[in-house]
Amino acid sequence: MPYSTFRPELMGSATLSPSGRFEAGSWQTFTLIYTAGAFGIDDTGSLKIAFRFATDLGPVQFDDPKAPGYTTIEASNGATLEARWEFKRNIRPWSRSLYIGVMKHFLKPGDTITVRFGDQRFGSPGVRLQTYCEKIFEFHVLVDAIATYDYVALPVSPTIEIGPGPGVAWQALLPTMVRAGAPFRFGIKIDDAWGNPSDQVMRTVRLAPSRPIAVLPATVDIKKGEFGATLEGLTVAEAGDLTIDVLGDDGALLARSNPLRVADKAAPAVHFWADTHGQSDETLGTNPAREYFAFGRDRAFLDVMSHQGNDFQITGEFWRDLNVATAEFDEPGRFVCIPGYEWSANTAVGGDRNVMYRREGESIHRSSHAQITESGDMADEAADAHEAGALFEKLAGKDCVVMAHVGGRYADITYAHDGRLETAVEVHSDWGTFEWILHDAFSKNYRVGVVCNSDGHKGRPGASYPGSSFFGAQGGLTCYLAPRLDRDAIFEAMRRRHHYGTTGNRMLLSVEATTKSDATLFLRDPAVFESPASERTRRVTMGDIARITDDEIELHVEVVGSAPIERLDIFDGTELVETIRTYGPQDLGRRVRLTYAGAEYRGRARTTVWDGSLTVAGNSIAEARMFNNWNLDRGIQKQTANDISWKAVTTGNYGGIDLWLSDGDAGRISFETKHCSGARDIRALGIEADVFPGGGLAREVALARLPEKMSEMRVRLTRRIAVPKGRDARLFVRVTQEDGHRAWSSPIYLFR
């Protein structure tokens, strides 16, 4: 690490009480006592007590003794201390830090500084622990004893363990498509209030499949100390769709699974769920890499994973170990584990890219060695690629796939792109929703697919919740359409863009186009590959590139949602072709939906705060519910029969509030937020939303009516769509569920 390494054993020591295991997101008080070492601490010297980048501990404050996070600091010799809670004023990964400056005096060897985090002596509830689990949560103590602002980490810093709370949210997870007769697994997990799989549930549940499943037991015992239950080797002999209900002993529904389609035995492809973007504590994430892979496979029930650590933090030793780990976890037919890294250059020179290799043992081409400057790690600096064009040159001819993504840094695909390698753009992650990166690709006539992943830093790949930090969305998932589960098949699906992305839900989505005359289907993009292989066909699927002779095609779309479907939008590039809803004006009733969406701008500080209020005059609010609110500290703050106030954020995604009114046609609704305000007569609201622009990046509030209750979870349709001359038709769909989840298909690229 790029701190000073001068004599850490002389810099003092630190103790913490209490110690042990604590519940994620709970309110606690901790006393950390630092004892000065051989040098003491000079006048204007300082301490930093630092925490990892991803943590949502706190916040810490020093002014209100009754408020959350109140923290007191005192020196045993009465020295004046200056304290600041610094969000990003320390070297990563220890970005969050409490700065304690020793002013107007100094510490002698043996003097102490006592820090009470969440000091409850004066009425504070304490400090809230981070909302996700970590086996070794460290209070990382750094000392500037000589007052040079050159910090030395203590040899040993205090640690605690953070574990899950009681289980409150049941989930039942099935694959989305398997062949008849093929074995599959069924997972039950029970999340705590912050989305951590809980090991504190002991209960017997009943299983009720919608159709017979071989060897499915009638009951399952959930045991305390275990994280839910996994049933392997289930089979269904005949094609069809099914779900499984998990019921309590009183018959109450605890969870209904996502839909599973059992396809014909001869189906050319089935569906595999992936989160190929996240990292562990060897770089900027949480918990070690092997725990990261095990969580995704065993607790999030993923089929495909990759590890994507920031390249400028990946030492040579960790790169070698990561390749060993992916080889250990890769198990064809059961789990695909892909070696890779995140090329993490500044946006000015191309921005973030995910590099995934088909085999272990490949070279890593970093954007820089910024945080790995030891001589052993600098030996391969000549392999670095400092800008995106150089990266593509270094990767030319290698057996790899590249994806462009939006994180703290965002990928600028207009700066550099290589269609032979870069097959997809990441439209959704923990960082938010970014349809604009797909629009950037369209503006340059690139042919790319859509992926969604977590970019998770909290050790929960495949089930990545943002907690209470600046992350504004649940992490996404990508569904790969492939004939089998192994690296060769998944990489071919990546290269042909045979996949769709979701905001974390597991809906079934099929998008195909048929032609009257034979079309030429290219197995690689003819715009960037010379004389690629091709075949004749009259049916293409999401991600395909085909030359056709007809002036129109038939687009076939089928959706089976994990919740009722609100709408389906068909796009040709950036042009909205049609919106299909599962309801009509005659179905509207007493329900009004207010949504807020968008971001400040494309970059790191994109979070938009939507704290606001609404008033209903001449009517009353019977019920109100928020959706896409992932932070328990936010949500509805106050509610009366006529008024609601709330706290919310978006980072390119959207959220909102549903109101069920006493009367569907009476009165007037008005709202206020920082970015826009407005009012409408309730009678005037209809199926099409009234939109109130809020500046920024696609920032807006919208008001519309919905049916009082929605139940339609299936949409199947066919549309004739013209294919223009002179440009690609880029046909894709976006599906929106009532619960706020979305999915995007990779475009079908057709040209004449």
> How many other C-beta atoms lie within 10 A of the C-beta of residue 519?
24
Task: Indicate whether 2 pLDDT > 90.
Answer: no
Task: Give the C-alpha separation, 608 to 470, whole Å.
Answer: 10
Determine whether 215 is exposed, middle or buried from the number of CB atoms within 10 Å of its CB (0-12, 13-18, 19+): exposed
Nearest to 449 by CA among 388, 387, 525: 525
Task: Give the C-alpha separation, 677 to 255, whole Å.
Answer: 38
**Residue 471, pLDDT score:** 80
Peptide bond connecting 93 to the previous residue in cis, omega within 30 degrees of 0? yes
Sign of CA dihedral 584, 585, 591, 594: positive
Give 603-620 pLDDT, tens digit per residue.
989 999 999 999 999 999
Task: Give the C-alpha separation, 408 to 672, whole Å.
Answer: 30
Of the pLDDT bands very low, low, confident and very high (cuts 50, 70, 90), residue 713 is very high
Q: What is the mean pLDDT of the chain?
A: 96
Q: What is the CATH number of domain 8-163?
A: 2.60.40.1510
Pair 505, 258: CB distance under 8 Å: yes
Query: Token pair of 507, please?
Result: 């809906």
Q: What would the mean pLDDT of 555-563 be, rounded to a whole number? A: 98
Task: Indicate whether 272 pLDDT > 70.
Answer: yes
Query: Token pair of 262, please?
Result: 């059992």
Sign of CA dihedral 35, 38, 42, 45: negative
Pair 424, 499: CB distance under 8 Å: yes
**Residue 495, pLDDT score:** 98
**Residue 92, pLDDT score:** 87
What is the CATH class of 169-266? mainly beta
**Residue 221, pLDDT score:** 97
Nearest to 7 by CA among 46, 37, 43, 52: 37
Task: Give the C-alpha separation, 51 to 130, whole Å.
Answer: 10
Q: What would the mean pLDDT of 289-309 be, rounded to a whole number? A: 98
Of the pLDDT bands very low, low, confident and very high (cuts 50, 70, 90), residue 367 is very high
By percentage, how much of the chain surpasses pLDDT 70?
A: 100
CA separation, residue 516 to residues 537, 553, 748 (Å): 10, 8, 17
Q: Which residues pair with 442 in a beta bridge?
A: none
By percentage, how much of the chain surpasses pLDDT 90?
A: 95
> How many other C-beta atoms lie within 10 A of the C-beta of residue 618?
12
3-state secondary structure 107-124: ECCCCEEEEEECCHHHCC
Pairing, β 46-51 against β 21-23: unpaired
Determine whether 707 is exposed, middle or buried from the number of CB atoms within 10 Å of its CB (0-12, 13-18, 19+): buried
Task: Please report the DSSP string for 460-487 in residue order.
Answer: -TTS---TTSS--S---EEEEEESSSSH
511-582+716-752: CATH superfamily: Immunoglobulins (2.60.40.10)
Residue the block writes with tokens 């996404």: 476
Q: What would the mean pLDDT of 148-177 be, rounded to a whole number? A: 97
- Map out the domains of the chain as residue ranges: 8-163, 169-266, 271-504, 511-582+716-752, 584-706
Q: What would the mean pLDDT of 61-66 be, rounded to a whole number? A: 98
> Hey, do 271-504 and 584-706 end up sharing a CATH topology, with the first three levels equal?
no
Query: Token pair of 319, please?
Result: 């790169």
Give the single-character DSSP code of 380.
G
Give 209-240 pLDDT, tens digit per residue.
999 999 999 999 999 999 999 999 999 999 99
Instruction: Locate the DSSP E strands across 41-131.
Output: 46-51, 72-75, 80-86, 96-103, 112-117, 127-128
**Residue 87, pLDDT score:** 85
Helix (H, G, I), strand (E, B) or coil at 369: coil
Task: Indicate whether 470 pLDDT > 80.
Answer: no
Task: Please report the DSSP string for 607-634 in residue order.
Answer: -EE--EEEEEESS-EEEEEEES---TTS
Task: Give the C-alpha separation, 60 to 50, whole Å.
Answer: 12
Give the single-character DSSP code of 662.
S
Peptide bond connecting 18 to the previous residue in cis, omega within 30 degrees of 0? yes
| Domain topology for 584-706 | Immunoglobulin-like (2.60.40)
Run of H or E residues at 242: strand 240-242
Give 35-50 pLDDT, tens digit per residue.
999 999 999 999 999 9
Query: Token pair of 257, please?
Result: 């699974």
Q: Which residues pair with 241 in a beta bridge?
A: 261
Domain range 271-504, CATH architecture: Alpha-Beta Barrel (3.20)
Task: Give the C-alpha separation, 467 to 597, whole Å.
Answer: 19
Give 422-437 pLDDT, tens digit per residue.
999 999 999 999 999 9
